[in-house]
Amino acid sequence: MALIELKNVERHYRLGDNDVAALAGVSLTIEAGEYVAIVGQSGSGKSTLMNVLGCLDKPTTGSYTIAGRDTAALEPDELAALRREHFGFIFQRYHLLGHLDARANAALPAVYTGQGTGKRLERARQLLERLGLAERLHHKPNELSGGQQQRVSIARALMNGGQIILADEPTGALDSASGAEMLRLLSELNASGHTVIIVTHDHSVAAQARRVITMKDGHVLSDAGTPAGHLPRQPEPPPASQINRLQRSFVQWREAVQTAWSALKGSRLRTALSMLGISIGIASVVSIVALTSAARQSFESDLASFISGRISVWRGNAILPPGAQPKAFQPAEIEGLRALPGVVGVNLEREAQMTVRQGSRDALMTVRSGGPQTLTARKLRVAEGRYFNTLDLRDSAQVVVIDQKARENLFKKGESPIGRTLMLTLGGMPDPAAQAAGVQAPAWATLPMTVVGVVESDAALLSGGNWLGEVFLPDSTFTRKVDARADYDHFDLLISPKTPPEQVREQMTHRLRALHGAEDFSIWSGEEEFRKVTRITAGLAGVFAGVAAIALVVGGVGVMNIMLVSVSERTREIGIRMAVGARRSDVLLQFLVEAVVLCCLGGLVGVALSWLAAFGFNQVQQQLHVSVSWDALVVAFAVSSGVGLIFGTLPARRAAALSPVDALARE
C-alpha cells in the first residue's frame, strides 16, 4: 500500500465570479522513503499540491489517502492529528515564532502532543545540536541567519518524528552555500528513512531528488515514477513516552498561559489601554458595591438596633366598631405580660406636650416618663451627666434628662446644661376633691426641674429623634406632677434576641384579648417593616451596581476589539501552530486564555484602585467605613474572567475557524 495516493484531485478557487482550477485531475502515488521533487513555474499548482499533501488544504473533488486513510472523511482536528504525527514542514520563509528562541521553536510541535516541558526541550536541544546549532539554542529568530533559521525549521519538522518532510522552496531565501547545506541535510534525512517532498521552480534543486514531478497549469506534465527497486522505509521514531489525557491538558493550558503572557508583554501600550477599560469597570463596580454595602450595613444595623428586641403596644385599633372605647392597660395586666417566656423587661411610658423654658429661651417639647428600661427600649445612651438613679425613681425627684435636640433649643452652643434649671409649663389637672368643694383648677402650673444628664441615640443614622426635642422625667415624678392615672396608653415589651418576636406577639395578643374581651389594642414589632427596608436597600444596591457595570461592559467591548485586532495581526502565527499540529480547540483555548489573563490583570488593577478610593474616602469622613474585602478580590477575578470569556469568545472562535493554508499565506 502506497504511503500517499491521489486520484483525480482537483482544487478550485473562487476569484470574484471566476472559478480557477489550481489542480486539475492530479493522480499520483508516493511510497514511503521516497525523495520527490515537484517542479513548475509560478502558477503551475505545485504549492497547492503541497498544501493538499500536507493536509493544510482539502481537495475540491477527488480522493487523497495517506497510509490508507481517506482525508475527505476526516474532521479538522483529525487532519491536525495527521499533520502533528506524520508531517514536518520546512517553509521558504521559515515561519518561526519571533517571541520564542530556537529551542522553543523547535519544540513547538511536541506541545500539541502533550509532551512535558523538560522532555520536549531536551529533544529539541538534541536535534539542534545534531544540526550544528548547539551555540544558538537561546537565540531568537531575528538573531539567526537565514540558514540557521532554516535548520531550526528542520529540527521543528523532526520533533514528532517527521515521517514525511514537506519543503516549500527550501533554498529560495538562502545563499548558495546555505542552499547547498540545506539540500545535503534533506538528502541525509531521506537516507535515514524520511519521505522527503520538495517543491521548487529550480531544476538544479530538483535534480537532487530521485523522482521529479513536473507540473503546469494544474496538471502533472511528467512524472518519473517511483525508482525501480525502491524499498519502502520508515524513519526511526522519536523516543516513546506515555502521555495521559490529564497531562496533555495541563501542558496545553500552561502553553496557552505562557503564550498569552508573551503576547501581552509584546504589546505593552495596547495591553495597558485594554486593561484600563476593564480596570475602570471593575473599580466602578467594586467601589459602588463597597460604598452601598457600607451604607446599607450602617443604616440597617442602626435600624435593627432601634427596633429589634422591642414590641410596642398601644390602646386603640382601627377595626373597632363605631363608638367602642378601647381600654387602657392596667398595671396588673402589664405585670402579667412581664412573665411571658422571652420577655426580659417592660418599658412604661407616658408623654405630654409642654412648654419648657430655660433662661430667656423656651420651646414646645415632648415630656416623657422614664423608667429603668427607657434607655434600652429607646436605644439611647448617656452623652453627658447621668441617667436617673434608684433614689430619683423612688422619691419622685424633680430632675430631668434631655436629648440633644432639647439641648440645642434651650442652650447656647458649648454651654453645659448639667445642673441648670428648666421650667416646665403644664395644664392644670382636675382634682375631684377640689371640684366637689367648688374650687376651679388652675389653667396651668410651672414645675422647676434640674438637668442631670443628656442622652443621644445609639443609632447614628437615626439620631434625629423627636423634632421637638425630648425631656425625660422619672416615672414616679411624671405620675405625681403631670399625669396621675394608674393605667397606661402605651408600653414596650423588651424581648430576648433569641426569642422569636412572633411567639411573644401571639401569646401577648391572646392574653390581652382575653382580659379586654376584644382586640382593642395594636401591636407593632417592626420585624416585617425591617425586612421590607432590607429588600428595598438590596434592590437599590443592585441598581447602583448595575449602573456601574455599564463601564465593565464598555471595557469588555474594548477587550473584544483588541482581541479581534490581535487575531488579525497574528494570523500567520495561528497558521504556523495549525501546521505543526494545533487543533482548533488549542487555538480557541489560546486566545480565550489571553482574553481572560488580560481581563484578570485589569481586574487586579481595578481592585487596587477601589482600595485606594476606599482609603481616601475613609480619610476624609468618619460616618461610613468603606472597606474592600478579600471577597471583592475573588469576585473581581471571577467577573474579570467572565468578561474575558464572554468578550473573548468571538475573536477566539474566529481564530480557530481560520484555514491553515489561508493563515500561512498572510503576512
Q: Mind spelling out the 3-state secondary structure of 273-311? A: HHHHHHHHHHHHHHHHHHHHHHHHHHHHHHHHHHHCCEE
Q: Which has more confidence, 528 or 86?
A: 86
Q: Which has more confidence, 553 or 514?
A: 514
- pLDDT on residue 429: 45
* Cell numbers standing for residue 580: 505543526
Label residue 463 by pLDDT band (50, 70, 90). very low
Residue 367 has pLDDT above 70, yes or no: yes
User: At 168, phi and psi to the nearest 5?
Assistant: -100, 110
- Cβ–Cβ under 8 Å, residues 524 and 311: yes
Residue 437 has pLDDT above 70, yes or no: no
Pairing of strands 164-168, 195-200: parallel
Cα–Cα dist 389/397, whole Å:
10
DSSP structural state of residue 141:
G
Name which of 8-12, 111-115, 430-434 the model is least confident about.
Answer: 430-434
- Give the start-end residues of each E strand in 371-464: 380-385, 399-403, 421-427, 444-457
What is the mean predicted confidence (pLDDT) over 616-636? 75
Range of 315-319, 474-478, 497-501, 648-652 with top mean pLDDT: 474-478
- pLDDT on residue 459: 57
Residue 291 CB neighbour total at 10 angstroms: 19
What is the mean predicted confidence (pLDDT) over 303-315? 75
Q: Domain boundaries in the chain?
A: 4-242, 256-301+532-665, 309-525
Label residue 646 by pLDDT band (50, 70, 90). confident
Name which of 82-96, 104-118, 581-595, 638-652 the model is least confident about.
Answer: 638-652
* Cell numbers standing for residue 354: 409642654
- pLDDT on residue 526: 67
Backbone Cα Rg of the chain: 45
Distances 83 to 59, 77, 160 between C-alpha atoms, Å: 16, 10, 10
Strand partners, 445: 426
Q: Which has more confidence, 432 or 662?
A: 662
Label residue 527 by pLDDT band (50, 70, 90). low
DSSP structural state of residue 461:
G
- pLDDT on residue 248: 80
Residue 510 has pLDDT above 50, yes or no: yes
pLDDT in tens, 387-418: 999 999 999 999 999 999 999 999 999 899 99
Q: Which one-letter amino acid corresponds to residue 246?
A: L
- pLDDT on residue 444: 60
User: At 399, phi and psi to the nearest 5?
Assistant: -125, 155
Strand partners, 452: none
- pLDDT on residue 240: 66
Name which of 212-216, 237-241, 269-273, 655-659 the model is least confident about.
Answer: 237-241
Q: Which has more confidence, 274 or 114?
A: 114
Label residue 439 by pLDDT band (50, 70, 90). very low
Residue 443 has pLDDT above 70, yes or no: no
Cα–Cα dist 638/521, whole Å:
53
Q: Which has more confidence, 549 or 23?
A: 23
Cα–Cα dist 56/158, whole Å:
18
Round the average pLDDT of the chain to a whole number and report it.
84
- Cβ–Cβ under 8 Å, residues 567 and 655: yes
Cα–Cα dist 632/491, whole Å:
45
Label residue 624 by pLDDT band (50, 70, 90). confident
- Cβ–Cβ under 8 Å, residues 102 and 144: yes
Alpha-carbon torsion, ordered 147, 151, 156, 159, to 10 deg: 180
Label residue 466 by pLDDT band (50, 70, 90). low
Residue with cell 498569552: 260
pLDDT in tens, 236-247: 777 766 677 788
- Over pLDDT 70: what percentage of the chain? 91
- Cβ–Cβ under 8 Å, residues 664 and 56: yes
Residue 507 has pLDDT above 80, yes or no: yes
- pLDDT on residue 461: 44
- Over pLDDT 90: what percentage of the chain? 30
- pLDDT on residue 32: 92
| Burial (CB count <10 Å: 0-12, 13-18, 19+), residue 219 | middle
Name which of 23-27, 99-103, 344-348 the model is least confident about.
Answer: 344-348
What is the mean predicted confidence (pLDDT) over 84-101? 88
Residue 428 has pLDDT above 50, yes or no: no
Residue 563 has pLDDT above 90, yes or no: no
Residue with cell 485589569: 602
- pLDDT on residue 300: 64
For residue 163, what are the contacts with CB-CB under 8 A and spacing of at least 6? 32, 85, 86, 87, 194, 195, 234, 235
What is the mean predicted confidence (pLDDT) over 325-341? 89
What is the mean predicted confidence (pLDDT) over 225-238? 84
Would you identify the CATH topology of the domain 4-242? Rossmann fold (3.40.50)
Q: How far is CA 299 from the centre of its chain?
A: 28
